[in-house]
Structure 1
Amino acid sequence: MPISLTNLLSKYIPENNQLERIWILAKTDFKLRYYETTLGLIWAFLHPLIRMIIYWVIFSYILNQNIPNYGMYIFSGLIVWMYFQEATRKGLMILRSKRYLYENIKMNLYDGFTSSILSTVIGLAFNIFVFIAISPFFNISYSFHILWMFPLMLNLAVLVFAISLILVILNSFLKDISQVWDVFLLGMFWINPIFYAKALIFETFPSLMYINPIAGIIVNLRDALMYAKAPDMTMMAFDWLYALVLLVIGMLIFNRYFHKAMEKL
């Protein structure tokens, strides 16, 4: 990165105010994601809707999935999945993409991850807002249970933060880890209840909903957004347990190998 740009970043990103620094980084990251495209922020709205329509046509008319409000059913699953996929891919590259900040600005080691996750959470919140805005057209009504979306979103963000801490270190030592992660994401995409009824997953793989935190978050968020139901508390407890255990493991790995990882870049 040119020195002039680094100096510019050093000038405008505060070193003493951590919250302000994180917010500036997150806001800048979010703007760059969409402002560099032709459609800009409109793409953040169109992308999940286009994918929803494609999958809705395939699964409704070709594979005969018979689920009420199937388009919204898919949309609610894609909201979680697209966030998880994008956020972990970005998290995996944090040390490379923000190396100039770590080298030129006095900042907490976790600030890069926090700002990256915050920028993707803005996108997640935008998609949920779109879902809620169009819900009345599909006869979806809400109760106070919709408030459960906040702890569920936090659970998802903590899980992504933890996984990113582990992946970014692995990516510094194993250059093929991004390709391995893409293959893993592809497999996870098809075994999560994005397109299939929850009952089908429970009956075929009864333990999957409890050993796969993404599946639990998808089901619980869908219950809150579509069915005005409280989440499955057992499933939610497992999801938080996985996120917190992975967070502890991720922080231990990251703190121990951060400097070696930076040397490998």
Structure 2
Amino acid sequence: MKSGKRNNKPKGNKKKKRIKSNRNRLQKSVMGGFYGVAAILTAVVLLHHNPLADQVTEVMKKVMACLLIAFTSVIFGIFFDRLMVLPKELYQSRRLIWKLAKNDFKKRYAGSYLGMVWAFVQPVVTVVMYWIVFDRVFDTRSQLVAGGIEVPYVLYLTAGLVPWFYFTEALTNGTTALLEYNYLVKKVVFKISILPIIKVIAATFIHIFFVCVLFVIAIAYGYYPSIYTLQIFYYSFCEFVLVLAISYVTCAVVVFFKDLQQIISIALQIGMWATPILWDISVLSDQMKPFFKLNPMVYIVNGYRSAIYEQEWFFEHFYSSTYFWIFTVTLFCVGSLIFKRLKVHFADVL
């Protein structure tokens, strides 16, 4: 019996060493991949040249982009272990997340006569009302956008409203995820980190419907799907990651500061007018444009329009794409750290 116990110890130690070795190998691979992408981005920034841009402005953009990449790389290296906790939990619980997201979407309208139809009625009514006011009452039949392209205003408007509705729905529900599922938060064995992403995925189901509506409107006006249209998937993914990053911050803070829900509601109203949804960013002066472009939703909204009718690739807007991803990844890292720091107190407060 003693010899048997002695023989089991080396086997257990070997297994632990193998697991630790695999973990270290995975960590090196992830960090190597991240720093590799950072190096490639830095090289592209330095080599990228726009002959039409002012040289001083171009140099300033290059310096800012390189500093942002360097800062993000340093933060990623310092907090790697902490930052990877949340992605690991989400990956390990992927099947449960998908199941709960579908249930969340279904139960929201359970018991009503029209059921899930209500999920689509309000945004459709909003689009129709804007169309009646601007297209019929004020006779704004077309919108002149950057590059001298004239597009039907209803298409221009819908291409801006569709991503904004998604952002509003996902952020509002993601913020209250812990409050709504407080009975799960109190369970010791449940991974509460999956709750915000459940709400964001549930909002994605509605978003898919409105993307289809956007395609129908585009086809009705003669803008047929092309290879550029596939970018809708890219920009939808961008928005998914952005709203998820914000939700991890807001859902953690709102547990301790309930007024945040009202603040977010007001901020979304202001944000709709600060984002070029009803208007085009080309009407702004050159001095004002950089300030408005700090809003990451400007990148998303313009991206949807590029995919539908402008026929431009996302990498043609290199600096905007670089800024968006650095901003979003940094925000996601900050959100995951805040969530991890505060989650030990959630059960006590709720």
Q: 2:339 aligns with which of 241, 254, 263?
A: 254
1:28-61 deviation digits (Å, cap 9, x = unpaired): 1111234444433333443333211211233345
Q: What are the ranges of 5 or more consecutive residues in structure 2 without an aligned counterpart?
A: 1-91, 144-150
1:168-192 deviation digits (Å, cap 9, x = unpaired): 1221221211111111111101111
Moved more, 56-65 or 223-232: 56-65
Moved more, 47-56 or 78-87: 47-56
Q: 2:102 aligns with which of 27, 35, 44?
A: 27
- How far apart are the structure 2 equivalents of 1:203 and 1:167? 33
Q: 1:213 aligns with which of 281, 296, 321?
A: 296
Give the conservation status (yes or no) of the 8 Å contact 1:217–1:239.
no
Aligned position for 2:306: 223
Percent sequence identity over aligned pairs: 26
Are residues 1:173 and 2:248 paired? no
- How far apart are the structure 1 equivalents of 2:188 and 2:114? 33
Give the conservation status (yes or no) of the 8 Å contact 2:174–2:197.
no
CA 139–44 in structure 1, closer or farther in 2 if over 3 Å, else same: farther
Coordinate RMSD, CA, aligned: 2.1
- How far apart are the structure 1 equivalents of 2:125 and 2:96? 34
Are residues 1:100 and 2:183 paired? yes
Kindly provide the amino acid, as one letter, of the partner of residue 31 in structure 1: K
Aligned position for 2:167: 84
Per-residue deviation, 1:19: 2.2
User: So what's the TM-score if we normalise by structure 1?
Assistant: 0.85
Give the conservation status (yes or no) of the 8 Å contact 2:178–2:196.
no
Q: May I ask how many residue pairs the two structures share in their alignment?
A: 249
- The ranges of structure 1 where at least 4 consecutive aligned residues each deviate by more than 4 angstroms after the TM superposition are 61-66, 201-204
Per-residue deviation, 1:193: 0.8
CA 24–224 in structure 1, closer or farther in 2 if over 3 Å, else same: same
What SS does the corresponding residue of 2:166 show, helix, strand or coil?
A: helix
What SS does the corresponding residue of 2:186 show, helix, strand or coil?
A: helix
Give the conservation status (yes or no) of the 8 Å contact 1:141–1:228.
no
- How far apart are the structure 2 equivalents of 1:202 and 1:28? 47
- How far apart are the structure 2 equivalents of 1:150 and 1:209? 24
Per-residue deviation, 1:136: 1.5
Are residues 1:53 and 2:123 paired? no
Give the conservation status (yes or no) of the 8 Å contact 1:173–1:264.
yes
- How far apart are the structure 2 equivalents of 1:105 and 1:22? 18
Q: 2:327 aligns with which of 220, 223, 242?
A: 242
What SS does the corresponding residue of 2:236 show, helix, strand or coil?
A: helix
Aligned position for 1:71: 154
User: So what's the TM-score if we normalise by structure 2?
Assistant: 0.66
Larger-gyration structure (1/2): 2
Give the conservation status (yes or no) of the 8 Å contact 2:174–2:199.
yes
The one of the two structures with greater contact order (alpha-carbon pairs below 8 A, sep at least 6) is 1
1:65-92 deviation digits (Å, cap 9, x = unpaired): 4413111211111111111111111111
Aligned position for 1:233: 318
Aligned position for 2:281: 198
Per-residue deviation, 1:161: 1.0
Give the conservation status (yes or no) of the 8 Å contact 1:202–1:208.
no
Aligned position for 1:186: 269
Per-residue deviation, 1:234: 2.2
What SS does the corresponding residue of 2:312 show, helix, strand or coil?
A: coil
- How far apart are the structure 2 equivalents of 1:85 and 1:225? 21
